[in-house]
Amino acid sequence: MINLGKINNFDLTHIFDCGQCFRFKKLDDGSYIGVAYGKVLHLYINNGEVFINSDDKIWKHFLDLDRDYSAILKEFMVDDFTIKAGEFGTGIRILRQEPFEALASFIISQCNNIPRIKSIINTLCNNFGNEIQDNGEIFYTFPTAEKIASLTSEDLSILRAGYRTDYLINAAKMVCSGEINFKLLDEMTLTDARVYIMKVHGIGAKVADCFLLFGMGKLDAFPIDTWMKKAKAFYDGDMSSYGKYAGIYQQYIFYYAKEHNLGK
């Protein structure tokens, strides 16, 4: 394992179990392991120092290591609610997930619970992803859009994903045909990107914002209104001036609100 040293605002549980990704699991020794970018990532923290199984530069990108989250938190925690949310979610980093994986995952997530989302995605990968090995153990990559586009809803019936299956196949086909172009999305403003992606059948405001935040790195996605309005029923925070990193702030709020059963 490679020692990355101390990384400020870096908590494995809050990163991998806050609901932004679905393919990482906690091992008995407290480390986390999963697959992203077609590779196995295994990491743990010991005495505040982060250890990682590979020095591939993709992990610096994936883990968003160049961003100063402590500065963001400092700016974020300004009132009772944001302080509680920020303290609760300390250590979250917004993962830079692969666009198609994020898109597919959040299509599957709709009107679903997290254990079942993980189960469906696990079945999807085990059956249609590519096999890779790490220390003699077998893992599976997330299937490509091309692979999913080649399948029928009957092929995917083993997922037991219900009506989401056709949404998934349709989105995969649109990615393959170029009707959805991630590079094009990359250049767009947040507003344009929302309009663009929501033209896809089965992608509404929620899935769109999750995809844009976790899959496209559009940190202004997932804006204030959804959870803050609900949270305001319990707290008096005002997030209106925090546009720049709204997405990150929103993940703190979302995580906190969900864990505390707020906004029902």
| Whole-number Å distance between alpha carbons of 48 and 163 | 44
x-or-dash string of contact with DNA, 73-102, rule CB under 7 A: ------------------------------
Stretch that binds DNA, among 14-22, 65-73, 129-137, 234-242 (CB under 7 A): 14-22
- Using CB under 7 A as the binding rule, whether residue 110 contacts DNA is answered as yes
Residue with tokens 């806050």: 18
- Using CB under 7 A as the binding rule, whether residue 163 contacts DNA is answered as yes
**Among this protein's residues, is 232 annotated catalytic?**
no
- Using CB under 7 A as the binding rule, whether residue 144 contacts DNA is answered as no
Residue from 5, 29, 57, 113 in contact with DNA (CB under 7 A): 113
Stretch that binds DNA, among 45-53, 76-84, 108-116, 140-148 (CB under 7 A): 108-116
Residue from 28, 29, 47, 111 in contact with DNA (CB under 7 A): 111
DSSP for the chain? -EEEEE-SS--HHHHHSSSS-SS-EE-TTS-EEEEETTEEEEEEEETTEEEES---THHHHHTTTTS-HHHHHHHH--SHHHHHHHHHTTT-------HHHHHHHHHHHTT--HHHHHHHHHHHHHHHS-EEEETTEEEEPPPPHHHHHT--TTGGGGG--TTHHHHHHHHHHHHHHTSS-HHHHHHS-HHHHHHHHTTSTT--HHHHHHIIIIIT--TT-S-THHHHHHHTTT-----TT--TTHHHHHHHHHHHHHHTT---
- Using CB under 7 A as the binding rule, whether residue 179 contacts DNA is answered as no
By CB under 7 A, what part of segment 198-227 binds DNA? Answer: 198, 200-208, 210, 222
* Total residues in contact with DNA, by rule CB under 7 A: 35
By CB under 7 A, what part of segment 232-251 binds DNA? Answer: 251
Residue from 7, 11, 12, 19 in contact with DNA (CB under 7 A): 19
Q: How far is the CB of 238 from DNA (least distance, A)?
A: 21
Q: How far is the CB of 61 from DNA (least distance, A)?
A: 20
The residue ranges that bind DNA (CB under 7 A) are 18-20, 109-117, 119, 157, 160-163, 198, 200-208, 210, 222, 251, 254-255, 258, 264
Give me the active site residues, please.
206
